[in-house]
Amino acid sequence: MANRMNWLQGKTVRKNTPSASHSRSSSTPQVQSTSSTIFGGGVKDPSGRITEYSSDDDQCPVCKSDKYLEKKLRLLVSSCYHKMCESCIDRLFTLGPAPCPICNKVLRKLAFTPQTFEDLGVEKEIAIRRRVAKEFNKRLEDFSNLREFNDYLEDVEDITFNLINDVDPVGTEARIAAYREANTALTLLNTQREEAYILSLRQAEEQDRKEKEARAEELRREEEEERQEKESGRREIIERLERAEGSDAVNVVRRTKRERAEREASRKGVAPGKGAQALLRARMAAAAATAATKDTPHIPLQDDYYAYEDMFVLQSTYVDPLSEAVRKDREGIMRAGGYRVEEAWERAVRSAVAGLDLWPLESDRDAFQSSHAFDPSGDAIMSAA
């Protein structure tokens, strides 16, 4: 319970006790040989390490050996979220896939992962969410409005919930498959974008780090200079006093100090971050350059050709004796070449409706409207033509 409280309070959960981790590294080879290398997975912390959960009350549900008697006991989690100790895993699955002793699902040795959270439900949820996030990675930009995006998120959450709680597994998998089918390209694009974004973040971080280092270096150098200056100043006073330059010792000291102050002031006036200023200037120049370029956002098409798509509805098939033979006969070849008989139909239909809402000639329209302004009947068109 104490563990759980710690976890809730945001403290780190107690992982392997030092003695346990120690015993693991110096363990008997026949059991542990596989453990560190083969079992992957688990939840990584920000530093990339996998921290494992274990407690003193651990007991293998299969062989009933427990932590109390078997200090080296390490429980791993199967893909069906059942715990087993390493020796049981070795015993049961070394000879290939075998059913889980608890739920009979066929498991492989490689499918076992270290446990990170005390609650296996959390473990499962994380695995599922990670899987779902990999596929359902649409962004707000991919939707025309917020409403659609929210609906999409709702859908995703619904699927996640179903997977976690094993509600309608077949239907849910079908939904995921359908989504995957429909969105492969976009998913891929978003994955690439995400990778690019991570890369850019890393580069920015690196850049920041370098800048910080340079700044620290500069500061150090300045300090060093200042120190040397002070040192040389003191030496100068002593030297002057030694040479008994000028009659009055107090005067000598005062004059030297004044000179030094002047020098320092002049140095400070120029120096404060010569590098920083250069950097600032470069940035301003870059900003000015981008401001001067009046590039405008991309407009895909500069006309409204596709604004009249509602003039026709393309059927899924037509009785078309001309293309029928070709279509039946050579579908394989035509498909591989990218030919679509639908294009021929679309062209025909488009040609049929093209210009339906246009007057034959602009001048005719004016003539017609002036002479037949009060005659709305269809005959007028005939007579005008």
Partner 1 sequence: MDAVEKANTERQKRWVKDQKVGEGTYAVVYRGREASTNRKVAIKKIKVGQFKDGLDMSAIREVKYLRELKHQNVIELLDVFSSKTNLNLVLEFLDSDLEMIIKDRSLVFLPADIKSWMAMTFRGLEFCHRNWILHRDLKPNNLLIASDGQLKIADFGLARDFADPGYKMTCQVITRWYRPPELLYGCRYYSTAVDIWSVGCIFAELMLRTPYLAGESDMDQLKTIFRALGTPSEQDWPGHTKLPDYVPMGQFPKQPLRDLFTAASADTLNLLGQCLVYEPRKRISAKDALHHAYFFALPYPSQPTKLPKCAAQLTAALPLEELDGNTLTGKTNRLKRKLTSPSDDTKTRPAVARRLDFTKPTPGS
Using the rule CB under 8 A, give the single segment among 90-98, 115-123, 146-154, 181-189 that binds partner 1. 181-189
User: For strand 75-77 and strand 113-114, is the pairing parallel, antiparallel, or unpaired?
Assistant: antiparallel
Q: Verify binding: residue 293, partner 1, rule CB under 8 A.
A: yes
Q: Which residues pair with 66 in a beta bridge?
A: 59
Q: Verify binding: residue 302, partner 1, rule CB under 8 A.
A: yes
Using the rule CB under 8 A, give the single segment among 20-28, 257-265, 339-347, 375-383 that binds partner 1. 339-347
Minimal distance, residue 18 CB to partner 1, in Å: 44
Q: Please select the residue that binds partner 1; options are 305, 313, 373, 376, rule is CB under 8 A.
A: 305
What is the dihedral angle through the alpha carbons of 264, 269, 272, 273, rounded to the nearest 10 degrees? -120
Looking at 18-168, list the stretches that DSSP marks H as alpha helix, in order from N- to C-terminal side: 18-25, 29-32, 35-38, 86-93, 120-135, 146-164
Minimal distance, residue 289 CB to partner 1, in Å: 11
Q: Please select the residue that binds partner 1; options are 18, 300, 355, 378, rule is CB under 8 A.
A: 300
Number of residues that bind partner 1 (CB under 8 A): 40
For residue 102 the two structure tokens come to 């608890």
The residue type found at 108 is: R
The residues in 88-117 that bind partner 1, with binding defined as CB under 8 A, are none
Per the CB < 8 A criterion, the answer to whether 237 and 252 are in contact is yes
Q: Please select the residue that binds partner 1; options are 57, 166, 248, 295, rule is CB under 8 A.
A: 295
What is the 3-state secondary structure of 225-274? HHHHHHHHHHHHHHHHHHHCCCCCHHHHHHHHHHHHHHHHHHHHHHCCCH
Q: Verify binding: residue 362, partner 1, rule CB under 8 A.
A: no
> Based on CB atoms, which residue is closest to partner 1, 133 or 384?
133
For residue 253 the two structure tokens come to 């000291």
Q: Verify binding: residue 349, partner 1, rule CB under 8 A.
A: no
Q: Verify binding: residue 202, partner 1, rule CB under 8 A.
A: no
Q: Verify binding: residue 334, partner 1, rule CB under 8 A.
A: yes
Q: State how far the Cα of 19 lies from the Cα of 29, in Å rounded to an integer.
A: 18
Q: State how far the Cα of 151 lies from the Cα of 165, in Å rounded to an integer.
A: 21
Q: Verify binding: residue 149, partner 1, rule CB under 8 A.
A: no
Q: Which residues bind partner 1 (CB under 8 A)?
A: 141, 185, 188-189, 192-193, 195-196, 293-298, 300-302, 305-306, 320, 322-323, 325-327, 330, 332-341, 343-344, 346-347
